[in-house]
Structure 1
């Protein structure tokens, strides 16, 4: 039986994780997995959510030094009741120059296989990037239950 958004074990407010160290990446992964599991995602979709969380929080440390992740259990009703998870990654780094190129470059960099932003985008159902040199980057992604 699938868990629903009305399950009292599902947080009804955001979980916010400050990203300042590798330990925070682990905490973010654990929080994303826990909330995804409570919502009722399959093990495969949980893994996708955790992988995107890991990659995007690592990017925060690599390119901006610090930031935060907000995790929300979400619902929408405009096309039938659907439940899902929303991940919002924010930093105050230098922004992402050439974002269109990055999104279409595939999954290799300097001869190494990477997941990064393009791979994280493929893991999720919705993926939005707002990036500016003056204010940093916000990536919002969502995964919906089938």
Structure 2
């Protein structure tokens, strides 16, 4: 994995964590971005330096999801099974899908396969069950909806 791509992978993970944190704590977007920038990136954790993140990309995803949340959530809901509500999804799955959908809708220069693969890999890092497959299917569906 090249350094810029790796930095984006770290940014995506941090964005998912930030979106989750905002949802469970009702923290504001700028406060959470500031916390990650000041206290989580480029820090020593138990003697190991965390991988560098593309901090601007991280902030763009988090701000973008918040700014376009209605549109992002509508794109996800469209791909849920009938009678399923977004609120029924695990909060981490919601955060993963929101970040992925934001990229699919607003970062057309990033190949669809890259976006889907990155967020499926993130889902695998959080879940051992069916969630990565669910994330894959949902993002693939959204990609069909929003990208020609």
Structure-1-length-normalised TM-score: 0.32
The structure with the greater share of residues assigned to helix is: 2
Higher strand fraction (1 or 2): 1
